[in-house]
Protein backbone atom coordinates (compact mmCIF):
# COMPACT_ATOMS: atom_id res chain seq x y z
CA UNK A 1 0.00 0.00 0.00
CA UNK A 2 1.22 3.48 -0.85
CA UNK A 3 1.35 5.27 2.51
CA UNK A 4 0.60 8.52 0.71
CA UNK A 5 -3.00 7.33 0.51
CA UNK A 6 -3.24 7.91 4.26
CA UNK A 7 -2.41 11.59 3.91
CA UNK A 8 -5.10 14.26 4.19
CA UNK A 9 -2.88 17.13 3.10
CA UNK A 10 -4.86 19.94 1.50
CA UNK A 11 -8.20 18.52 2.64
CA UNK A 12 -10.83 19.99 4.91
CA UNK A 13 -12.46 17.57 7.36
CA UNK A 14 -15.50 18.14 9.57
CA UNK A 15 -15.82 16.08 12.76
CA UNK A 16 -19.06 16.22 14.75
CA UNK A 17 -18.68 15.57 18.46
CA UNK A 18 -14.95 16.16 18.16
CA UNK A 19 -14.52 17.79 21.56
CA UNK A 20 -13.84 14.55 23.42
CA UNK A 21 -13.80 10.77 23.25
CA UNK A 22 -13.68 9.05 19.87
CA UNK A 23 -14.31 12.32 18.03
CA UNK A 24 -11.34 13.97 19.71
CA UNK A 25 -9.10 11.04 18.70
CA UNK A 26 -10.37 11.30 15.11
CA UNK A 27 -9.73 15.05 14.99
CA UNK A 28 -6.23 14.62 16.40
CA UNK A 29 -5.28 11.91 13.92
CA UNK A 30 -6.69 13.87 10.96
CA UNK A 31 -4.62 16.89 11.99
CA UNK A 32 -1.52 14.71 12.37
CA UNK A 33 -2.10 13.59 8.79
CA UNK A 34 -2.20 17.22 7.65
CA UNK A 35 -5.93 17.81 7.32
CA UNK A 36 -7.57 21.12 8.12
CA UNK A 37 -9.94 19.98 10.87
CA UNK A 38 -13.14 21.70 11.97
CA UNK A 39 -14.84 20.37 15.09
CA UNK A 40 -18.61 20.74 15.37
CA UNK A 41 -19.76 20.39 18.97
CA UNK A 42 -22.09 21.94 21.53
CA UNK A 43 -19.45 21.83 24.30
CA UNK A 44 -17.53 25.01 23.52
CA UNK A 45 -15.17 24.85 26.49
CA UNK A 46 -14.05 21.30 25.82
CA UNK A 47 -13.86 21.82 22.05
CA UNK A 48 -11.67 24.90 22.40
CA UNK A 49 -9.40 22.98 24.77
CA UNK A 50 -9.12 20.17 22.21
CA UNK A 51 -8.26 22.65 19.45
CA UNK A 52 -5.50 24.14 21.62
CA UNK A 53 -4.09 20.68 22.28
CA UNK A 54 -4.14 19.72 18.61
CA UNK A 55 -2.74 23.06 17.49
CA UNK A 56 -2.72 24.64 14.06
CA UNK A 57 -5.02 23.11 11.52
CA UNK A 58 -7.87 22.60 14.01
CA UNK A 59 -10.75 24.99 14.68
CA UNK A 60 -14.18 24.82 16.30
CA UNK A 61 -17.76 25.81 15.52
CA UNK A 62 -20.44 25.58 18.19
CA UNK A 63 -23.41 23.65 16.83
CA UNK A 64 -26.40 22.17 18.68
CA UNK A 65 -27.07 18.95 16.79
CA UNK A 66 -30.42 18.49 18.54
CA UNK A 67 -31.83 21.58 16.79
CA UNK A 68 -32.36 20.61 13.17
CA UNK A 69 -33.13 24.08 11.85
CA UNK A 70 -30.14 25.63 13.60
CA UNK A 71 -27.91 22.80 12.37
CA UNK A 72 -28.99 23.25 8.76
CA UNK A 73 -28.33 26.98 8.96
CA UNK A 74 -24.94 26.40 10.58
CA UNK A 75 -23.94 23.92 7.89
CA UNK A 76 -24.95 26.35 5.16
CA UNK A 77 -22.81 29.11 6.72
CA UNK A 78 -19.86 26.80 7.28
CA UNK A 79 -19.82 25.41 3.75
CA UNK A 80 -20.09 28.92 2.35
CA UNK A 81 -17.11 29.90 4.49
CA UNK A 82 -14.79 26.96 3.70
CA UNK A 83 -16.06 26.50 0.12
CA UNK A 84 -15.02 22.85 -0.05
CA UNK A 85 -15.45 19.91 2.35
CA UNK A 86 -13.48 16.77 1.52
CA UNK A 87 -14.22 14.59 4.56
CA UNK A 88 -17.18 14.41 6.93
CA UNK A 89 -17.04 12.30 10.08
CA UNK A 90 -20.43 11.97 11.78
CA UNK A 91 -19.33 10.95 15.26
CA UNK A 92 -21.51 12.89 17.71
CA UNK A 93 -24.01 10.94 19.76
CA UNK A 94 -25.83 10.57 23.05
CA UNK A 95 -26.84 7.43 24.91
CA UNK A 96 -30.10 6.66 26.65
CA UNK A 97 -30.39 3.63 28.94
CA UNK A 98 -34.13 3.67 29.73
CA UNK A 99 -36.01 0.39 29.42
CA UNK A 100 -38.32 0.24 26.42
CA UNK A 101 -41.52 0.39 28.48
CA UNK A 102 -40.34 3.42 30.47
CA UNK A 103 -38.67 5.31 27.62
CA UNK A 104 -40.21 8.77 27.35
CA UNK A 105 -41.16 10.43 24.09
CA UNK A 106 -38.88 13.36 24.96
CA UNK A 107 -35.86 11.07 25.40
CA UNK A 108 -36.72 9.18 22.21
CA UNK A 109 -36.94 12.42 20.23
CA UNK A 110 -33.67 13.78 21.63
CA UNK A 111 -31.67 10.63 20.87
CA UNK A 112 -33.07 10.32 17.35
CA UNK A 113 -32.46 14.01 16.69
CA UNK A 114 -28.78 13.88 17.65
CA UNK A 115 -27.85 10.32 16.69
CA UNK A 116 -29.74 10.01 13.38
CA UNK A 117 -31.42 13.18 12.10
CA UNK A 118 -28.25 15.23 12.57
CA UNK A 119 -26.33 12.63 10.54
CA UNK A 120 -28.86 13.06 7.73
CA UNK A 121 -28.70 16.86 7.82
CA UNK A 122 -24.91 17.18 7.94
CA UNK A 123 -24.46 14.49 5.30
CA UNK A 124 -26.99 16.04 2.94
CA UNK A 125 -25.40 19.49 3.19
CA UNK A 126 -21.89 18.14 2.68
CA UNK A 127 -23.03 15.72 -0.06
CA UNK A 128 -24.19 18.60 -2.21
CA UNK A 129 -20.86 20.37 -1.74
CA UNK A 130 -18.89 17.21 -2.49
CA UNK A 131 -20.95 16.51 -5.61
CA UNK A 132 -20.20 20.00 -6.89
CA UNK A 133 -16.49 19.58 -6.21
CA UNK A 134 -15.75 16.14 -7.60
CA UNK A 135 -16.34 13.91 -4.58
CA UNK A 136 -15.34 13.20 -1.01
CA UNK A 137 -15.69 10.74 1.83
CA UNK A 138 -18.29 10.41 4.58
CA UNK A 139 -17.79 8.10 7.56
CA UNK A 140 -20.56 7.58 10.11
CA UNK A 141 -19.85 6.27 13.58
CA UNK A 142 -22.68 3.87 14.37
CA UNK A 143 -22.60 1.18 17.09
CA UNK A 144 -23.00 -2.54 17.49
CA UNK A 145 -26.17 -1.58 19.38
CA UNK A 146 -27.67 -0.87 15.98
CA UNK A 147 -27.11 -4.51 15.00
CA UNK A 148 -28.22 -6.26 18.18
CA UNK A 149 -30.96 -3.94 19.47
CA UNK A 150 -28.93 -2.50 22.32
CA UNK A 151 -28.70 -4.10 25.71
CA UNK A 152 -25.04 -3.56 26.53
CA UNK A 153 -25.34 0.16 27.23
CA UNK A 154 -27.70 2.01 24.91
CA UNK A 155 -31.21 0.62 24.69
CA UNK A 156 -34.23 1.12 22.39
CA UNK A 157 -33.78 4.73 21.25
CA UNK A 158 -30.01 4.48 20.87
CA UNK A 159 -30.19 1.13 19.08
CA UNK A 160 -32.89 2.34 16.70
CA UNK A 161 -30.93 5.49 15.86
CA UNK A 162 -27.71 3.59 15.20
CA UNK A 163 -29.53 1.01 13.06
CA UNK A 164 -30.83 3.96 11.09
CA UNK A 165 -27.29 5.29 10.68
CA UNK A 166 -26.14 1.95 9.25
CA UNK A 167 -28.97 1.94 6.70
CA UNK A 168 -28.60 5.65 5.90
CA UNK A 169 -24.92 5.01 5.18
CA UNK A 170 -25.89 2.58 2.43
CA UNK A 171 -28.40 5.02 0.96
CA UNK A 172 -25.80 7.79 0.84
CA UNK A 173 -23.28 5.41 -0.73
CA UNK A 174 -25.75 4.50 -3.50
CA UNK A 175 -26.55 8.15 -4.18
CA UNK A 176 -22.89 9.12 -4.26
CA UNK A 177 -21.57 6.22 -6.32
CA UNK A 178 -21.54 8.12 -9.60
CA UNK A 179 -20.30 11.36 -8.10
CA UNK A 180 -17.07 10.32 -6.44
CA UNK A 181 -18.62 10.24 -2.96
CA UNK A 182 -17.95 7.18 -0.80
CA UNK A 183 -19.83 6.63 2.44
CA UNK A 184 -19.10 3.97 5.05
CA UNK A 185 -19.78 3.37 8.73
CA UNK A 186 -17.97 1.97 11.74
CA UNK A 187 -19.60 0.06 14.59
CA UNK A 188 -17.58 0.34 17.79
CA UNK A 189 -18.29 -1.72 20.87
CA UNK A 190 -17.34 -0.69 24.41
CA UNK A 191 -14.84 2.17 24.13
CA UNK A 192 -13.37 4.08 27.06
CA UNK A 193 -15.00 7.49 26.63
CA UNK A 194 -17.01 9.87 28.85
CA UNK A 195 -20.14 8.58 27.09
CA UNK A 196 -19.85 5.20 28.83
CA UNK A 197 -18.57 6.35 32.22
CA UNK A 198 -21.67 4.86 33.87
CA UNK A 199 -20.61 1.36 32.85
CA UNK A 200 -18.82 -0.04 35.90
CA UNK A 201 -18.63 -3.12 38.11
CA UNK A 202 -20.77 -6.08 37.09
CA UNK A 203 -22.17 -4.28 34.04
CA UNK A 204 -18.69 -3.62 32.71
CA UNK A 205 -17.58 -7.18 33.43
CA UNK A 206 -20.58 -8.53 31.51
CA UNK A 207 -19.72 -6.45 28.45
CA UNK A 208 -16.04 -7.38 28.54
CA UNK A 209 -16.86 -11.07 28.83
CA UNK A 210 -18.80 -10.85 25.55
CA UNK A 211 -15.78 -9.50 23.70
CA UNK A 212 -13.16 -11.91 22.36
CA UNK A 213 -10.38 -9.50 23.33
CA UNK A 214 -11.91 -8.99 26.82
CA UNK A 215 -11.00 -5.32 26.99
CA UNK A 216 -12.45 -1.97 26.06
CA UNK A 217 -11.16 -0.12 23.03
CA UNK A 218 -9.07 3.00 23.30
CA UNK A 219 -10.66 5.87 21.33
CA UNK A 220 -7.57 5.98 19.10
CA UNK A 221 -8.24 2.40 18.00
CA UNK A 222 -11.70 3.32 16.73
CA UNK A 223 -10.24 6.44 15.15
CA UNK A 224 -7.82 4.21 13.23
CA UNK A 225 -10.75 2.42 11.60
CA UNK A 226 -12.53 5.67 10.81
CA UNK A 227 -9.45 7.25 9.23
CA UNK A 228 -8.84 4.21 7.05
CA UNK A 229 -12.34 4.51 5.61
CA UNK A 230 -11.93 8.28 5.21
CA UNK A 231 -8.64 7.89 3.34
CA UNK A 232 -7.74 7.07 -0.24
CA UNK A 233 -6.57 3.68 1.01
CA UNK A 234 -10.28 2.74 1.06
CA UNK A 235 -10.91 4.05 -2.46
CA UNK A 236 -12.84 0.93 -3.54
CA UNK A 237 -14.98 0.63 -0.40
CA UNK A 238 -18.41 2.21 -0.10
CA UNK A 239 -21.68 1.30 1.61
CA UNK A 240 -19.83 -0.96 4.05
CA UNK A 241 -20.05 -1.26 7.82
CA UNK A 242 -16.88 -2.11 9.72
CA UNK A 243 -17.17 -3.69 13.16
CA UNK A 244 -14.54 -2.32 15.53
CA UNK A 245 -15.72 -4.34 18.49
CA UNK A 246 -12.93 -6.51 19.89
CA UNK A 247 -14.54 -9.60 18.38
CA UNK A 248 -17.94 -9.16 20.01
CA UNK A 249 -20.02 -9.90 16.92
CA UNK A 250 -17.53 -11.67 14.67
CA UNK A 251 -18.94 -10.09 11.47
CA UNK A 252 -22.49 -10.22 12.75
Query: Which residue, among 176, 122, 160, 145, has the nearest Cα to 243 in the 3D structure?
Result: 145
Query: Which residue, among 13, 26, 85, has the nearest Cα to 225 in the 3D structure?
Result: 26
Question: Which of 74, 158, 225, 242 is an active site residue?
Answer: 158
Question: What are 150-179's pLDDT values in tens digits?
Answer: 876 678 999 999 999 999 999 999 999 999
β-strand partners of 62: 41
Q: Is the dihedral of CA 60, 186, 22, 36 positive or negative?
A: negative
Q: Is the pLDDT of residue 124 over 70?
A: yes
Whole-number pLDDT of residue 72: 97
Question: What are 3-52's pLDDT values in tens digits?
Answer: 677 899 999 999 999 999 999 999 999 999 999 999 999 999 999 999 99
Whole-number pLDDT of residue 3: 60
Whole-number pLDDT of residue 153: 66
Burial class (CB in 10 A: 0-12, 13-18, 19+), 160: buried
Q: Does 152 participate in catalysis according to the annotation? A: no
Question: What are 212-238's pLDDT values in tens digits?
Answer: 888 888 999 999 999 999 999 999 999
Question: What are 66-102's pLDDT values in tens digits?
Answer: 999 999 999 999 999 999 999 999 999 999 989 899 9
Task: Write the class of the CATH domain 3-241.
Answer: alpha beta
CB 83 within 8 A of CB 98: no
Whole-number pLDDT of residue 205: 83
Would you kindly state where each structural domain of the chain is located, as residue ranges? 3-241
Amino acid sequence: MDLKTLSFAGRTALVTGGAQGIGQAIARQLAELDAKVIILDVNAEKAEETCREIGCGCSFRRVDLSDGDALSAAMERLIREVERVDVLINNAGVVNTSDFETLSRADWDRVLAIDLTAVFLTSQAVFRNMAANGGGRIVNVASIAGKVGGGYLGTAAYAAAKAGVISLTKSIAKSGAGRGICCNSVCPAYTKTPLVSILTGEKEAKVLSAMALHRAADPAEVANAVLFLASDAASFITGENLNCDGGMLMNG
